[in-house]
Structure 1
């Protein structure tokens, strides 16, 4: 397991175990604008763990967006895969005049990151879409970036390609969708076999991203997916646990689920409400 510096961002310390709270889509709070460069700068200064999504462009570069198309998240139109750098310069994020964050911008932004900060590049396209051109773009712009970046994807082929070109970057895999299908077809034993194979596979991941309800469902039936991963030297990120009413704190159902999740000792929990989650936990524990 690659050693990370002690986190200085938002986290929960419980029974001697540190669980980081990762800012989902560069949002410290759900009310923050989507993929905000300002929030990212705040996280870099604080040493926070944060996540952004990357979509590949027609020229092999990337843009920080989640969806396949520009509609919805931006003022633009059409598939992102058909856009070039020049096509995106005048497009803005919805709900303001914020420019899009391009992969060319990220390397410079990362120079200001606190040593404990961790930025996840969640690749939303598969290896066929990214291709050799996209991998070469990542290598050209992030070759000198240190372990403050972790590249993740559902596509194992893509992560293997990243490992070959950028072996110094941390890597993450998200087998969640596949494991849901395997559970339906073959049960939890088949899930365990497949997950263990992924952990020992050619991606050599540092972190495994798993849907938190899948983690809890498995635990109820005797499969501790977090312990399995940690036993193989991997970290686990449980995604995405967001309080429905952050100012009010946990509902009773949320509290039961969060307690059960924390008892399994995940290394990180993805959330859209990091400060509120930390406050709500503290109130419950004190109360």
Structure 2
């Protein structure tokens, strides 16, 4: 049974946590963004208690959103409901009402009652009654399927869902123009761009100097670039200061997704922190913090 939203907020408001929200690097603090709201790699994504806790602690938080058949946003990462949730079917063919009663699964496949599949508006509702630490922010990772343009109804739904929270919202996406439309209706929201889909389609952008030029041509309004960690490491090894050059443009860099055991070793972490990344996306903030502090 799903606990009422106010009950979740009240339980978390008295909870202490040792999950880090940042780690000190050689160029200052590096935020540790809780990918899919995870604090631990094996837990289910989008746990409501983690959202409430991170909001209170001042964490950078991330949720993925997909438009349903009726032009509403649901908090989901994959285009199909199964096997990552207890449902079945394709999200773009499913109306928002049909996701009621579904749950996200953890790494063992168990449904997590703290991680119901929810409309965006319902997931963020507790944030209006919880105290927010000044550094807390929520990235909405906008997923689009088959390059479909977002309907105006979905944009309106998102604006209503986060009304009053705009200064804490970051909209990031591979699809920059749709993200711009999104940000334009959320006063105070910031814009992020992930060029890695473009890199996969245009192999020449693997050259860090060409990637920099690609982002520079699209920089209007962009405050953060989401770059896959190995692209940053490769640029560092080629002695091209990609992240520093982006900072010169007023764009911070988020390195994604940095988890133990996935190509992450001491040299790779040293390259990331040495590159002046301002944020690291991770499903295991505690472990990554310890690894960076041990360098």
TM bin, normalised by shorter chain, reads 0.7 to 0.9
How far the C-alpha of 1:78 sits from its partner, in A, is 0.8
How far the C-alpha of 1:18 sits from its partner, in A, is 1.2
Distance in 1 (alpha carbons) for counterparts of 2:171 and 2:20 = 20
Equivalent residue, structure 2, for 1:191: 211
SS at match of 2:125: helix
Distance in 2 (alpha carbons) for counterparts of 1:263 and 1:139 = 37
Q: Does 2:272 correspond to 1:257? A: no
Q: Does 2:152 correspond to 1:135? A: no
Equivalent residue, structure 1, for 2:164: 144
- Partners of 1:56 and 1:129 within 8 A in 2: no
How far the C-alpha of 1:32 sits from its partner, in A, is 2.1
Aligned pairs, how many?
268
Equivalent residue, structure 1, for 2:176: 156
How far the C-alpha of 1:271 sits from its partner, in A, is 1.0
What aligned pairs does 1:37-116 form with structure 2 within 5 A after superposition?
37-94=48-105, 95-98=110-113, 99-111=116-128, 112=130, 113-116=132-135
Q: Does 2:142 correspond to 1:123? A: yes
> Of 24, 36, 44, which residue of structure 1 is paired with 2:35?
24
What aligned pairs does 1:165-244 form with structure 2 within 5 A after superposition?
165-184=185-204, 187-199=207-219, 201=220, 204-244=221-261
> Of 17, 23, 33, which residue of structure 1 is paired with 2:44?
33
User: Any idea what the Cα deviations from partners look like across 1:117-147, whole Å, max 9, x if unmatched?
Assistant: 1111101116734221111111222232132
**What 5-or-longer segments of structure 2 have no aligned partner?**
1-18
How far the C-alpha of 1:186 sits from its partner, in A, is 8.2
Distance in 2 (alpha carbons) for counterparts of 1:280 and 1:254 = 9
- Partners of 1:70 and 1:78 within 8 A in 2: yes
Equivalent residue, structure 2, for 1:248: none
User: Any idea what the Cα deviations from partners look like across 1:201-220, whole Å, max 9, x if unmatched?
Assistant: 3xx11111000101111222
SS at match of 1:128: coil
Q: CA RMSD in A?
A: 2.2
SS at match of 1:130: coil
How far the C-alpha of 1:222 sits from its partner, in A, is 3.4
TM-score scaled by structure 1?
Answer: 0.86
Deviates more, 1:185-194 or 1:265-274: 185-194
TM-score scaled by structure 2?
Answer: 0.83
